[in-house]
Homo-oligomer: A and B are copies of this chain.
Amino acid sequence: MSDAAIDAVDHAALKSADTETLRAAIRAGRYRRHTAGLATGRLQANLAIMPERVALDFFRYCQRNPKPCPLVGVTDTGDPRLLTLGSDLDIRTDAPAYDVFENGERVATVPDIRELWRDDLVGFAIGCSFTFEHALEEAGVAMRHVAMDATVPMFRTTLETVPAGPFGGGMVVSMRPIAERDLARTVEICRRYPLAHGAPVHVGDPAAIGIADVSAPDWGDPVPVRSGEVPVFWACGVTPQNAVRRARLPLFIAHSPGAMLVTDVDERAEVPVLDT
């Protein structure tokens, strides 16, 4: 089916849609863009899909690096369902877009991975920053990149992750400017969300974690830090993606940046498991 033949819907049209409607549009290939602000209140997740051969080491990598890699779900080998995150969730079709990597290089971006699915694949779902951003906004701490309609700025750092098997490398962080008077409660609120990167990993001087120019991010858009504000840095879900690319697996599949898997789990749930 060509793009032109798809009865596409846009972000604005889906803003008030419930999770089921949103998922149906995504599954049908009718929505292929970012999920920020959609299905508000539901846990969204990064996806990392790889052969079982390296899955135990990737599990270890996430366990040892819980701030950049907060695991919220994992499939059985060869089974595309994430039963603890949704009764009808299929990781082959339910993210709006997927990036496909071979030997660490992106070779394609596709709307679903039905034709790429294999019996030896394992899918991991990793928590994302949308959860704590909502919590901060509800507490009156504004997110400037949201107000700017921009992508949060992300940076490589000199903070090293704890390695496991072929996985390792530097931590990637996201930056949000926070008013000095809001710092303490920002940290306190975020600490309540261990499945969404938790408390910041660094507050203040960017150079202390190897960032030469806080106005020149490695990914995302520049966001200004104003007088009376401090740059605050959170562990970022790009970290595991970089770790996997660095391992140069023959095949690795991720969601496309910002186009997350929307789950049925309440983003404020104590644990990422549907009531059974």
Q: Which residues does A use to contact B, with CB under 8 Å?
A: 52, 55-56, 59-60, 63-67, 71, 73-74, 76-77, 83-84, 122, 160, 162, 164-165, 191-192, 194, 198-199, 270-273, 276
A64–B59 Cα gap in the complex (Å)?
13
Let me know if B73 and A63 touch, CB within 8 A: yes
Let me know if B76 and A71 touch, CB within 8 A: no
A165–B122 Cα gap in the complex (Å)?
13
Residue of B at shortest CB range from A57? B76
Closest chain-B Cβ to A146's Cβ sits at a distance in Å of: 25
A162–B274 Cα gap in the complex (Å)?
10
Of B59, B64, B65, B67, the residue contacting A56 (CB under 8 A) is B59
A52 and B63 in contact (CB under 8 A), knowing A164-B76, A194-B271, A270-B194?
Answer: no
A34–B73 Cα gap in the complex (Å)?
34
Of B76, B164, B271, the residue contacting A60 (CB under 8 A) is B76
- Can you name 17 A-B residue pairings with CB atoms under 8 Å? A56-B56, A56-B77, A59-B63, A60-B74, A63-B71, A63-B73, A63-B74, A66-B271, A76-B165, A83-B162, A160-B276, A192-B192, A194-B194, A194-B270, A194-B271, A198-B271, A199-B270
A276–B159 Cα gap in the complex (Å)?
9
Residue of B at shortest CB range from A55? B56
Q: Which residues of B contact A52 (CB under 8 A)?
A: 56
Let me know if A162 and B273 touch, CB within 8 A: yes
Let me know if B162 and A84 touch, CB within 8 A: yes
Residue of B at shortest CB range from A190? B270
Q: Which residues of B contact A73 (CB under 8 A)?
A: 63
Let me know if B270 and A198 touch, CB within 8 A: yes
A136–B206 Cα gap in the complex (Å)?
38
> Which interface residue of A63, A71, A76, A192 has the most chain B CB atoms within 10 A?
A63
A83–B192 Cα gap in the complex (Å)?
26
Q: Which residues of B contact A164 (CB under 8 A)?
A: 76
Q: Which residues of B contact A270 (CB under 8 A)?
A: 191, 194, 198-199
Closest chain-B Cβ to A266's Cβ sits at a distance in Å of: 14
Q: Which residues of B contact A76 (CB under 8 A)?
A: 60, 164-165
A64 and B194 in contact (CB under 8 A), knowing A56-B52, A56-B56, A83-B162?
Answer: no
